[in-house]
Amino acid sequence: MTPGSSVGFGLGDRPVAVDSRGHSKAMTGLPGEAAAQHVAADDARVPGAGRITDALTDPRPPAAVGLLSERTPVTPIVEARGLTKRFGRAQALAGLDLVAQPGRVVALLGPNGAGKTTFVRSVATLLRPDAGSLQVAGIDALRHPARVRQMIGLAGQFAAVEPAMTGRENLEMIGRLFGLKPKQARAAATAVLEQIQLTGDAGRLVRTYSGGMRRRLDLGASLVGAPRLLLLDEPTAGLDPGSRVQLWDAIRQLVAAGTDVLLTTQYLDEADQLAADIVIIDHGQVIAAGTPSELKTLAGDDVIEVHVRDAEALPDVAAVLSAVGRDPRVDRATRRVWVAVDDGTRRLMEAMRALDHGGAGVEDISLRRPTLDEVFLTLTGKPAGTTGQPSGPAAA
Amino acid sequence: MANASVITGSPLSPARGRVNSGARFWPSALAVARRTVLKFVRTPQLIGLATVQSAIFLVIFRYIFGGAINAGGLPYVDFLVPGFVVTGFLWAGMGAAAGVAEDVEQGLFDRLRSLPIPRAAVLAGRGLADTALVTWSLAVGTALGFAVGFRMHGPVTAGLAALGLCVLFSFAFEWVFITIGLVAGTAQAAQGMSVLMTVLVFVSSAYVPVSSMPGWLRPVAEQQPVTPMVNAVRGLVGGPQAEALLPHTTAYYVGLSLIWAVAIMVVFGVVAAARFSRR
């Protein structure tokens, strides 16, 4: 899959990728493996920052959607074409193209101000894009926003629950607003409380809840209507690690129950944990998209990481690693050097021999798949959001 | 569209999710109103503080400034209390503006706007609830007024009509406060903007006779909406003695204040609705 391409996401067990030249491929087998093969076969060139620019200047294939829909009669849950939105002088969306197929969790990943929230708010019909087209489950969100609202649930960046009501009262109120009858609203609230593990606290006023409980209740509120598409805008921003994991569990259960989820996040591990498909957004445009493993492949097949005992040894180790892969990166704070390599096992052996010969004090050496941090760095030339690790090119 | 959602199986195992018909206008408005009222009722500090504040305010005017104010032959307490009760909703309204701004700030309005309900119902619910709360503070204010020595000089029906007018005025001004809350965006900003309301309260006939003001200020006080509202209520409850002090008849002020109320409601209702559904 090419960075900057229009992407159609998983169609059940046969994901289809449409690259920037309009070629479409059905992948068979495990999505991750298939994607890796696909990328290896298609991208003889090394994907990287320069590559993105090429892709972006390529004319967009107008037939991409056609090809997609020929293959699959499934209506995309979200289909955005050339969305633009400007707030004063800030260009929040700059021609964003995104097609998300139903049945998968899609994570929009990007730094602050990348346009994630603007996009989600457009899908939620809270904002009207300046130009472009936007369909939600086949319905034109610009022309028929009221019909789109019948199919979505939104949980924003804040816990939009009423502190002076109990957890149950909050859920029943939203259930009623979704159009449920009182009895149905009660039943839905009971079921949702169970799902978000707040049954025991359902009768307490929300003002006595912890931050994590409020977030879970907020998520629950968007669920009582059992919407087709759940929009989660940075659902775990500002939560402690324990609460994040609990919220992730709740989201995973939902997905298992068949709700389509579009979520935004600045946390790479969150996207990795939850999403079947990740769309990386920067400056209001999609710069890359694919499954987590596809995206990781963009940053090299494998990564060799060396942890040294003494920071003084970092330049030497970096020099050694530059012989086995390209452009090793150094993080002084954690005394680590890592490098992307093509043939992991063989390169690891080479690196170990060379390091042994050089006599550097190595604490730990490992071979692993690249993290999304590294992917983001490769694609944008800067670390992702606030979680990015400080890094830079190896000192030569 | 039928107001029913078809649930197939458990609400949590939506085969492909549901299409929610959404609640209609009045059920939506009532649900939103209920939440605002619950918030108020379950925050006793808020109620206590508001009551104490208005009592202090009344006592200061009644017993401290009151002696220095010449109400033109009318006992000052009889002049003061109608003005105090009418302008009470303007004080209460500032809290409403801050509450609306808080709902914007904390994302509650975004959630409500993303639901399949008429957007106007959200504002209508808020407006109704706040008016109900203001009616409560109106009753408290009236009771306090009687406690400091105010007596009716008109028929009971006129008193009830006066209370009805007060509720109507507060409903009209509620739209001003909702607009302020929506525009301000933060509770603090809303509070700041609402302070402008003190101008409306004091540059009026509520606490002092307009005739005691300097010549350049008098037209402002006479032409702004609070003065006819206060005069209408004062004429209704004060009987002939109070009416004699007014430049026009009570009926004139009732009519004028009704026109003002409707105009404010329409203009700010439209502005608030436009602002709320802007996207």
- Per-range mean pLDDT, top range of A45-49, A311-315, A359-363: A311-315
- The answer to whether position A123 is within a domain reads yes
What pLDDT tens digit does each residue of chain B (279 aa) get?
Answer: 333 333 333 333 334 466 888 888 999 999 999 999 999 899 888 778 888 888 999 999 999 998 888 887 889 999 999 999 998 888 888 888 999 999 998 889 999 999 999 988 999 999 999 999 888 889 999 999 999 999 988 889 999 999 999 999 999 999 999 999 999 988 899 888 877 888 889 999 999 999 889 999 999 999 999 999 999 999 999 888 888 888 899 999 999 999 999 999 999 999 999 999 876
Measured in whole angstroms, the distance separating CA A252 from the mean position of its chain's CA atoms is 14
Number of domains in chain A: 2
Hey, of B115, B133, B182, B277, which one would you mutate to test binding to chain A, going by the most A CBs within 10 A of its CB? B115
Q: What is the CA angle A52-A54-A57, rounded to 5?
A: 110
Q: What is the pLDDT of residue A58?
A: 38
One domain for residues A85 and A177: yes
| Nearest-CA distance B12 → chain A (Å) | 6
Asked if the C-beta of A187 comes within 8 angstroms of chain B's C-beta atoms, the answer is yes
Lowest average pLDDT, out of A72-86, A274-288, B159-173, goes to A72-86
Q: What is the CA angle B237-B240-B241, rounded to 5?
A: 90
Asked if the C-beta of A128 comes within 8 angstroms of chain B's C-beta atoms, the answer is yes
pLDDT higher for A206 or A288?
A: A206
| Partner residue facing B116 (CB), from A159, A164, A178 | A178
Task: Find where tokens 């009716």 sit.
Answer: B152
Q: In this structure, what token pair is assigned to residue B273?
A: 């609705």
CA distance B260 to B172: 9
Asked if the C-beta of A256 comes within 8 angstroms of chain B's C-beta atoms, the answer is no
Judge: A177–B23 Cβ closer than 8 Å, yes or no: yes
pLDDT higher for B248 or A343?
A: B248
List CB contacts (< 8 A) between B4 and chain A. 179, 181
SS3 assignment, position A278: strand
Asked if the C-beta of A153 comes within 8 angstroms of chain B's C-beta atoms, the answer is yes
Hey, of A74, A150, A190, which one would you mutate to test binding to chain B, going by the most B CBs within 10 A of its CB? A150
Q: In this structure, what token pair is assigned to residue A148?
A: 């789109």
- Using an 8 Å Cβ cutoff, are A304 and A344 in contact? yes
Q: What is the pLDDT of residue A236?
A: 85
Task: Find where tokens 């309009």 sit.
Answer: A22
One domain for residues A267 and A365: no
One domain for residues A226 and A353: no
Task: Give the list of residues 6+ apart from residue A226 with CB closer than 8 angstroms, or none.
Answer: A188, A259, B7, B11, B12, B14, B17, B18
pLDDT higher for A370 or B264?
A: B264
- The answer to whether position A259 is within a domain reads yes
- The answer to whether position A389 is within a domain reads no
| Nearest-CA distance B10 → chain A (Å) | 8
One domain for residues A105 and A122: yes
- Using an 8 Å Cβ cutoff, are B265 and B169 in contact? no
Q: In this structure, what token pair is assigned to residue A245?
A: 């994991």
Residue A232 burial (C-beta neighbours within 10 Å; 0-12, 13-18, 19+): buried
Task: Find where tokens 């994907």 sit.
Answer: A47
Q: What is the CA angle B165-B167-B170, rounded to 5?
A: 105
One domain for residues A137 and A252: yes
One domain for residues A248 and A306: no
Q: In this structure, what token pair is assigned to residue B22?
A: 């959404």
CA dist list (Å): A319 to A310, A338, A339: 15, 11, 11
Q: Which residue of A has its CA nearest to B104?
A: A160
| Nearest-CA distance B8 → chain A (Å) | 11
CA-closest candidate to residue A395, choices A310, A325, A300, A327: A327
- The answer to whether position A280 is within a domain reads yes
Number of H helices, E strands in chain B: 11, 0
Q: What is the pLDDT of residue B160?
A: 93
One domain for residues A292 and A309: no
Judge: B113–A126 Cβ closer than 8 Å, yes or no: yes
- Using an 8 Å Cβ cutoff, are A114 and A103 in contact? no
Q: In this structure, what token pair is assigned to residue A304?
A: 């060799």
Q: What is the pLDDT of residue B4?
A: 36
Asked if the C-beta of A365 comes within 8 angstroms of chain B's C-beta atoms, the answer is no
| Partner residue facing B14 (CB), from A165, A195, A257 | A257
Judge: A228–B18 Cβ closer than 8 Å, yes or no: yes
| Partner residue facing B38 (CB), from A125, A150, A165 | A165
| Helix (H), strand (E) at residue A277 | strand A277-282
CA distance B30 to B21: 17
B-contacting residues in A 77-96 (Cβ below 8 Å)? none
Amino acid identity of B109?
A: F
Residue range(s) defining the domain that contains residue A328: 301-369
Buried b / exposed e along B101-134 (16+ C-beta atoms within 10 A): bbbbbbbbbbbbbbbbbbbbbbbbbbbbbbbbbb
Asked if the C-beta of A120 comes within 8 angstroms of chain B's C-beta atoms, the answer is no
Task: Give the list of residues 6+ apart from residue B182 with CB closer than 8 angstroms, or none.
Answer: B100, B101, B104, B272, B275, B276
A31: how many CB neighbours lie within 10 A of its CB?
22
Q: Which residue of A has its CA nearest to B13?
A: A257
Measured in whole angstroms, the distance separating CA A149 from the mean position of its chain's CA atoms is 23
CA distance B160 to A318: 87
Where does residue A28 fall: left (phi above 0), alpha (psi -120 to 50 degrees), or beta otherwise?
beta
Mean pLDDT over the full length of chain A: 76
Q: Is residue A174 predicted with pLDDT exceeding 80?
A: yes
* pLDDT tens-place string over residues A228-256: 899 999 888 878 888 888 888 888 887 77
Q: What is the pLDDT of residue A248?
A: 87
Share of chain A above pLDDT 90, in %: 30
| Nearest-CA distance A15 → chain B (Å) | 19
CA-closest candidate to residue A220, choices A237, A201, A238: A201
B239: how many CB neighbours lie within 10 A of its CB?
17
Ordered DSSP codes for A341-394:
ESSHHHHHHHHHHHHHHHT--EEEEEEEPPPHHHHHHHHHSS--TTTPPP-EEP
Q: What is the pLDDT of residue A11?
A: 35
pLDDT, average across residues A139-168? 91
| Nearest-CA distance B139 → chain A (Å) | 24
| Nearest-CA distance B13 → chain A (Å) | 5
pLDDT confidence of A73, banded at 50, 70, 90? low
Number of H helices, E strands in chain A: 14, 17
pLDDT, average across residues A98-110? 89
- pTM comes to 0.76
One domain for residues A76 and A180: yes
- The answer to whether position A363 is within a domain reads yes
pLDDT, average across residues A81-90? 90
| Partner residue facing A164 (CB), from B4, B27, B43 | B43
Q: In this structure, what token pair is assigned to residue A64?
A: 């991409």
* CATH number of the CATH domain containing A78: 3.40.50.300
- Using an 8 Å Cβ cutoff, are A144 and B133 in contact? no
Residue B186 burial (C-beta neighbours within 10 Å; 0-12, 13-18, 19+): middle
Q: What is the pLDDT of residue A32?
A: 37
- The answer to whether position A384 is within a domain reads no
Ordered DSSP codes for B191-256:
HHHHTTHHHHHHSSTTTS-GGGS-TTTHHHHHHSTHHHHHHHHHHHHHHHHHHHHSSS-HHHHHHH
Domain boundary among A261, A296, A331: A296
Q: Is residue A33 predicted with pLDDT exceeding 70?
A: no
Lowest average pLDDT, out of A51-65, A186-200, A286-300, B174-188, goes to A51-65
CA dist list (Å): A326 to A1, A319, A374: 21, 11, 14
Largest CA distance in chain B: 78
One domain for residues A64 and A153: yes
Judge: B108–A160 Cβ closer than 8 Å, yes or no: yes
- The answer to whether position A393 is within a domain reads no
CA-closest candidate to residue A161, choices A242, A216, A224: A216
- The answer to whether position A234 is within a domain reads yes
Q: In this structure, what token pair is assigned to residue A135?
A: 């369909």
Sequence-ordered alpha helix ranges (H) in B106-217: 108-113, 119-147, 156-184, 187-194, 197-202
Amino acid identity of A44?
A: A
List CB contacts (< 8 A) between A85 and chain B. none
Judge: B107–A157 Cβ closer than 8 Å, yes or no: yes
One domain for residues A117 and A265: yes
CA distance B185 to B193: 11
One domain for residues A91 and A203: yes
Domain boundary among A296, A328, A344: A296
Domain boundary among A266, A296, A326: A296
Judge: A179–B113 Cβ closer than 8 Å, yes or no: no
One domain for residues A284 and A311: no
SS3 assignment, position B262: helix
* CATH number of the CATH domain containing A309: 3.30.70.100
